[in-house]
Chains A and B, each alone.
Chain A
Amino acid sequence: MKTPRRERREKLPSPSSPAPDPGSAKGDPERLYVITGGPDGGERAALDLVTMVVACSTPSPTVQPEQAAILRLCRAPLSVAEISAYLRLPFSVVTSLLTDLLATELVESRAPIVRAVLPDRSLLEAVMHGLQRL
């Protein structure tokens, strides 16, 4: 082969690869996201692309149109990525809209199951079985 050769790299020590939050590593279905301060001083919920969102109520006339649209979309669970796609709004805009909806308890969110230092074998087996049915 005439292509140049790559050189293997070492894993960098953390914090460049932050350990997943142990609280969410188990995918505790009851765990709701904590709202943390954003870089702009505003509050921003730590939402992942695949945080699942579900509406707790139907839109009232007082919510913004974008938020009303989210409440309608999320009558059934939907990921933040899907909300962004259907509303054609950037991910960061959707997370800030959701931050308000979470703070006012109009929606609920479920953290995704993230990669853990010790991966959950039964989870991986479930995914394998699901894929085999495709």
Chain B
Amino acid sequence: MDFKGSDTITGPRTEDVLPSTATAAVKVVIVGGFGVGKTTMVGAVSEIRPLTTEETMTQASIGVDDNSRIEGKTATTVAMDFGRISISEQLILYLFGTPGQERFWFLWNGLFEGALGAVVLVDTRRLEVSFDVIGRLEERGVPFVVAVNTFPDAPSHPMEALRHALDLPDEVPMVNCDARLRASSRDVLLTLMNYLHALALQRS
């Protein structure tokens, strides 16, 4: 948290500097449990090396709004990795790899409310860890797709069995992916955009 002085600040590499026209930004959130491949997916598609933004959660920010108690506060640092894809000279897509627990989400203003949509990354070895995340997205009305990150030692289940276990409506897209591969991760994002587009058509 201490500021190390501007001499030690390294900004973007020359090739990562955005043009002055780049003033419209959109974001997509990649959410899932620890070790499910969020950072890997962000890194696979990002044009910049993934960066990290963090926030400190104190007792006070958890809801005890009483300055007198700040003395005894416990602080937890919550980090989020993110990357960036330039869509055009004007439009930039940001991708945030977000911890699965909702109590961290409020730390960043409008993390989900402002996002175009979300990708829920699931690992079939620990399917239950995504139950709560999916429920929260449903409650908040955040459109999402489910990407099944295929680890070599993961049991392989037919997609329909996974859909049943996750109790997802037929319209919610589910895809297999390998988060390490750019093409595969890009296809997950395209699946999300196609789904959002279909929802937009439906509503108009």
Q: CB within 8 A of B135: which of A6, A20, A29? A: A6
Separation in Å of the B128 CB from the closest CB of chain A? 6
The verdict on B169 contacting chain A, using a C-beta distance below 8 Å, is yes
Known: A112-B114, A130-B86, A134-B182. A121 touches B201 (CB 8 A): yes
A12's partner among B24, B87, B140 (CB-CB below 8 A) is: B140
Q: Is the CB of B91 within 8 A of A48?
A: no
> How many interface residues does chain A have, given as a range?
35 or more
- Whether B186 pairs with A5 at a CB distance below 8 angstroms is no
Residues of A within 8 A of B96 (CB): 49, 81
Please tell me which one of the listed residues B4, B54, B115, B194 contacts residue A84 in the complex, with CB atoms under 8 A apart: B54
B128 touches A112 (CB 8 A): no
The interface residues of chain B lying within 8 Å CB-to-CB of A115 are 113-117, 142-143
Residue on A with the closest CB to B168? Answer: A8
Tally of B interface residues using CB under 8 Å: 82
**Main SS at interface, chain B:** mixed
Q: A104 at interface (Cβ–Cβ under 8 A)?
A: no
Of the candidates B56, B85, B161, B182, the one whose C-beta lies within 8 Å of that of A90 is: B56
Q: In the complex the two chains form, is B45's CB within 8 Å of A134's CB?
A: yes
* Contact in complex: A131, B193 (CB < 8 Å): yes
Contact call A72/B6, Cβ cutoff below 8 A: yes
Rounded to whole angstroms, the CA-CA distance of A7 and B47 in the bound complex is 38
Q: Decide: A119 near B114, CB < 8 A? Known: A86-B51, A127-B87, A134-B182.
A: no
- CB–CB A52/B85 < 8 A: no
Complex-state Cα separation, A115 to B141, whole angstroms: 11
Q: Is there a chain B Cβ closer than 8 Å to A103's Cβ?
A: no
The interface centre, meaning the residue of B53, B92, B94, B193 with most chain A CB atoms within 10 A of its CB, is: B53
B74 touches A (CB below 8 Å):
no
Is chain A's binding surface mostly helix, strand, loop or mixed? loop
Is the beta-carbon distance between A86 and B9 smaller than 8 angstroms? Answer: yes
Q: Cβ of A29 and Cβ of B190 under 8 Å apart?
A: no
A86 surroundings in chain B (CB, below 8 A): 9-12, 51
Q: Is B154 an interface residue (CB 8 A)?
A: no
Complex Cα spacing A73 to B10, Å = 9
Please, how many angstroms separate the alpha-carbon atoms of A93 and B26 in the complex?
22
Chain B 19-32, CB-CB to A under 8 Å as 1, else 0, gives 11011111100000
- Rounded to whole angstroms, the CA-CA distance of A113 and B26 in the bound complex is 5
Which A-chain residue is minimally distant from B114 (CB atoms)? Answer: A114
Instruction: Find out whether the CB atom of A114 lies under 8 angstroms from the CB atom of B113.
Output: yes
Besides the contacts A12-B140, A81-B53, A132-B190, what 13 more A-B pairs have beta carbons closer than 8 Å? A4-B165, A6-B166, A11-B140, A49-B96, A77-B19, A90-B1, A110-B25, A113-B25, A121-B197, A124-B116, A126-B88, A128-B193, A130-B87
19 sampled A-B residue pairs with Cβ under 8 A: A1-B157, A3-B127, A5-B164, A6-B131, A9-B139, A29-B23, A49-B111, A69-B6, A77-B20, A77-B23, A85-B52, A89-B1, A95-B109, A110-B25, A119-B203, A124-B193, A127-B91, A131-B190, A131-B193
